[in-house]
Every structure is written in C-alpha cells, then in structure tokens.
C-alpha cells in the first residue's frame, strides 16, 4: 500500500533548497518557531499541526515548483513535509506531558511483570499459530518504533508487525488447514507479541501517530492496524486475572512473584550509584543515604559495607588468613555482589535493547527510507 519511491524525503529537501520555494520554506520555518514557543497542549497541538499540513498542501498544489506534478509527487512532498516538521518538533510533541510519560512507564512496568509468566495458552492462542520465529520477527518490527521520529515511519513499524502476523495466519490456514479466524486469531497474537516486545513508549507512540500522522493517511488499513495496537494497549492496561485463561490465585501469585523479582534492580540501583561515588572519593552524603535505604533490607550487609573503607575488604586477603568468623561476612558480600551483578545485567540488557532500537536512526535518513519503503519484511529485518 505504500509508495515505493526510493528517496521521497531527499527529493522534498531538494525542492526546498530551490530558491523558488523560499516562500514555502519561510512559512514552514516560521510555523516551527511559533509552535515551539507555545506551551504544549496535545489536543490543540494536533489540530494546529494538521491545519498547517492542510494549508501547506494547498500552497504546494498551487506552487509553480510543483506545476504539472502528479498526485503521487505531491503526496511525496507532503510526506516530506510531515517528516520535516515532526522531526523538528519531535521533542515538543512526543511524550511531552507528564501524564504520557507516566502512562508509558506504567504500561512498560506492567508488561515486564506479565512477561515473567504469560504463555500463549493464557490467551487461548491455537497451537498452529504458536510460531516463535514469526513472533520474534513481529516483535522486532514493533521494537523499532522509537528509531523513527516521523509519524509515517512509526506507523509503518506497526504495519510491518501486523503484516508478519498476517503472514503467519495465512500460512497456518494454508499449510495447517486452520480455519481462518480473522480478528479472532489476529488480536490475541498481536497482544502476545506486544507483551513479548514491550515496545518503548507504547502509549506515547500511538498517541503521536493519532495526532500527527496526516489525517488523510490514517485511514483504511493503516487506521485498522493502528486501532488494533491501541486495542492491545488498552487490553494490557486493564488486564487482570479475568482477562486471561488463568486461575485468579495463580495470576495474583505470578504477578506478586514478578514484582519481587523486578524490585531487585530498583533497590540496588542506589548501590550502583554508590560504587561510582566511592571510586571518586567524594563526600559521604550519598552513601549514608544509601545505607539508610538499605537498612530495612539487610542490616548485615550495611555493617560490612559501612565498617570497611572499601566495598570489598577481602580483595587483598589470602585464603590462609581467613577464619570461620569471616564466613558470615563473606557470604553477605557474596550475596551483595550477586545482587548487583544481576541488576547490572538487567540494566545492560535494557540498554542494549534500546540501543538496537535506536541505532537505525544514526544510519541516516537515506537508509531509513529505503528500509521503510521496502515492501518485503525480510529486507526490513536484515538491517537490524
């Protein structure tokens, strides 16, 4: 459904560099400046930007530079316009309110909990649709969403994810003779994939597309798949034991267990801060605070950490010097190290996920567009 011009954005920029487009460039730049000065108000912002797109569309249609252009060429210019404006205004319009940020965090945290125990059976996903390879591919598409700043490209990540799932359904109906279930099959798989992927800033991304994708483009199939992800998000937000095929007690216990596991990094993060402060030999303020926070967790650790001038007093020790009395302290230190190590691994894992998500952006717009425009999902995935 997307046009496959190789570099519509470059051709838009080329036109903008043409002296004949000076009037347009001025109007676009002055809009961006005036928009940046006003305080954010999502409802209004969406309207203002959409109105600006429409006004500029009219101007482009009448512009000598586009005289005799086909509808497709005009459309490419408008896609370029959307991308240019929304990239410039990204920080002002994307996840710009405290509520959005909070919502993103809550959804992501809930997904983290669900990830620890949710299985396809809980959503009654038929075995023929349980295809790890396909799911992984779909997840990957969804995770790329923050690698792009333009609404069109973000929307394409969703579309690509949905296409992978549709291919899976298609294959199941052909090779496994699975009766096609349409949305009955599609939505549960999309929800499962969304939970597995935990795409960054899910709420903000969906809202951003809704508000800033040119409204004449958020229709039909694109609107349908966008709605499906909105729907998946909404399902996850409201999800409780009754939403799943699971015993209520099992659900509650699993959530509780997941909370305990996920809490470890939160508690130990001050400890990580402390390592760096210790290393720099700065004032003891932070470490005292850290001790206070830790007190209720394990007094023993604190005694060791506090009394010794360094975090790990046994580093210089020889085996022969140790006594039985040291066992308790050693064990305490051992536990502390393991806890830190685990939380560090967690953090690194998260970092590497967000890094892979972001990396395509640094490859430059040309590559982005080529990837985005490719109709084959394989091409899209290889780059990553």
Partner 1 sequence: MGCSSSLPDRSAGRLSGLNNAENSGVPDAKNLRVKLVLLGDSGVGKSCIVLRFVRGQFDPTSKVVTVGASFLSQTIALQDSTTVKFEIWDTAGQERYAALAPLYYRGAGVAVIVYDITSPESFTKAQYWVKELQKHGSPDIVMALVGNKADLHENREVPVQDGIDYAEKNGMFFIETSAKTADNINQLFEEIAKRLPRPSSS
Minimal CA–CA distance to 200: which of 212, 208, 188, 189?
A: 208
227 near partner 1, rule: CB under 8 A? yes
**Exposure on the CB side of residue 264, measured as CA atoms within 13 A:** 18
The least CB distance from residue 141 to partner 1, in Å, is 17
- What is d(CA 326, CA 89) in angstroms, rounded to the nearest whole number? 59
From candidates 19, 182, 309, 320, binder to partner 1 by CB under 8 A:
182
User: What dihedral do alpha carbons 144, 268, 195, 91 form, nearest 10°?
Assistant: -40
Q: Quote the tokens at residue 376.
A: 């084959």
Q: Which residues contact 16 (CB under 8 A, 6 or more apart)?
A: 24, 25, 28, 84
Name which of residues 49 to 108 contact partner 1 (CB under 8 A): 50
351 near partner 1, rule: CB under 8 A? no
* Choice between 49 and 290, CB closer to partner 1: 49
For 192, other C-beta atoms within 10 Å of its C-beta total 24
* Choice between 23 and 176, CB closer to partner 1: 176
* Choice between 177 and 378, CB closer to partner 1: 177
From candidates 187, 261, 267, 272, binder to partner 1 by CB under 8 A:
187
- What is d(CA 192, CA 27) in angstroms, rounded to the nearest whole number? 45
* Choice between 142 and 165, CB closer to partner 1: 165
267 near partner 1, rule: CB under 8 A? no
Provide the 3-class DSSP secondary structure of residue 182.
Answer: coil
Name which of residues 205 to 224 contact partner 1 (CB under 8 A): 207, 210-211, 213, 215-221, 223-224
Q: Classify burial at 307, counting beta carbons within 10 Å of its beta carbon; exposed 0-12, middle 13-18, buried 19 or more.
A: exposed
From candidates 81, 137, 150, 172, binder to partner 1 by CB under 8 A:
172
For 315, other C-beta atoms within 10 Å of its C-beta total 8
The least CB distance from residue 25 to partner 1, in Å, is 26
For 310, other C-beta atoms within 10 Å of its C-beta total 11
Q: Quote the tokens at residue 142.
A: 């969804």
183 near partner 1, rule: CB under 8 A? yes
* Choice between 111 and 232, CB closer to partner 1: 232
Q: Total residues at the site for partner 1 (CB under 8 A)?
A: 49
Minimal CA–CA distance to 40: which of 98, 87, 120?
A: 98
How far is CA 233 from its chain centroid? Answer: 13
Quick one: which segment of 60-68, 178-186, 247-255, 352-360 binds partner 1 (CB under 8 A)?
Answer: 178-186
* Choice between 181 and 286, CB closer to partner 1: 181
The least CB distance from residue 38 to partner 1, in Å, is 16
Q: Quote the tokens at residue 374.
A: 């490719």
* Choice between 220 and 323, CB closer to partner 1: 220
- What is d(CA 106, CA 228) in angstroms, rounded to the nearest whole number? 20
The least CB distance from residue 329 to partner 1, in Å, is 52
From candidates 20, 33, 58, 174, binder to partner 1 by CB under 8 A:
174
Quick one: which segment of 108-116, 179-187, 265-273, 324-332 binds partner 1 (CB under 8 A)?
Answer: 179-187
Quick one: which segment of 43-51, 100-108, 271-279, 337-345 binds partner 1 (CB under 8 A)?
Answer: 43-51
- What is d(CA 158, CA 155) in angstroms, rounded to the nearest whole number? 5
The least CB distance from residue 226 to partner 1, in Å, is 7
Name which of residues 229 to 248 contact partner 1 (CB under 8 A): 230-231, 234-235, 238, 242-244
For 208, other C-beta atoms within 10 Å of its C-beta total 26
- What is d(CA 162, CA 323) in angstroms, rounded to the nearest whole number? 62
179 near partner 1, rule: CB under 8 A? yes
Angle, alpha carbons 42-97-231 (nearest 5°): 70
Site string for partner 1, 131-170 (x = CB under 8 A): -----------------------------------xxxxx
The least CB distance from residue 292 to partner 1, in Å, is 44
- What is d(CA 263, CA 100) in angstroms, rounded to the nearest whole number? 23
331 near partner 1, rule: CB under 8 A? no
Q: Quote the tokens at residue 335.
A: 């536990």
Q: Which residues bind partner 1 (CB under 8 A)?
A: 43, 46-47, 50, 124, 166-174, 179-188, 207, 210-211, 213, 215-221, 223-228, 230-231, 234-235, 238, 242-244
């Amino acid at each position: 459904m997307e046009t496959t011009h190789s570099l519509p954005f470059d051709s838009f920029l080329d036109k903008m560099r043409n002296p004949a487009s000076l009037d347009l460039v001025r109007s676009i730049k002055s809009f961006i400046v005036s928009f940046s000065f006003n305080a954010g108000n999502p409802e209004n912002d969406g309207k203002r930007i959409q109105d600006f797109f429409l006004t500029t569309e009219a101007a482009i249609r009448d512009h000598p530079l586009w005289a005799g252009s086909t509808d497709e060429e005009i459309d490419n210019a408008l896609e370029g316009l959307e991308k240019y404006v929304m990239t410039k205004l990204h920080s002002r319009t994307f996840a710009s309110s405290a509520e959005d940020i909070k919502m993103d965090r809550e959804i992501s945290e809930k997904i983290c909990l669900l990830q620890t125990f949710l299985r396809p059976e809980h959503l009654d996903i038929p075995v023929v649709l349980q295809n790890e390879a396909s799911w992984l591919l779909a997840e990957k598409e969804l995770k790329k969403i923050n690698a792009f700043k333009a609404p069109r490209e973000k929307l394409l990540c969703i579309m690509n994810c949905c296409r992978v799932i549709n291919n899976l359904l298609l294959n199941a109906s052909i090779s496994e003779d699975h009766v096609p279930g349409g949305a009955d099959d599609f939505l549960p798989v999309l929800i499962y994939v969304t939970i597995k992927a935990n795409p960054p800033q899910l709420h903000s991304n969906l809202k951003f597309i809704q508000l800033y994708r040119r409204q004449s483009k958020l229709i039909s199939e694109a609107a349908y798949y966008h709605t499906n992800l909105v729907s998946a998000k909404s399902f996850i937000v409201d999800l409780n034991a009754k939403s799943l095929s699971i015993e209520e007690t099992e659900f509650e216990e699993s959530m509780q267990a997941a909370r305990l596991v996920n809490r470890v990094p939160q508690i130990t993060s001050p400890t990580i801060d402390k390592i760096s402060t210790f290393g720099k030999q700065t004032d003891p303020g932070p470490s005292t605070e850290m001790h206070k926070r830790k007190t209720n967790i394990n007094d023993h650790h604190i005694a060791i950490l506090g009394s010794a001038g360094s975090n790990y007093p046994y580093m210089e020790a020889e085996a022969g010097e140790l006594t039985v009395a040291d066992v308790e302290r050693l064990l305490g230190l051992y536990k502390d190290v393991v806890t830190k190590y685990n939380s560090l691994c967690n953090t690194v894992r998260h970092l590497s996920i967000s890094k892979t998500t972001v990396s395509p952006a640094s490859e430059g717009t040309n590559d982005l567009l080529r990837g985005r425009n490719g109709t084959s999902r394989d091409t899209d995935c290889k780059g990553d």
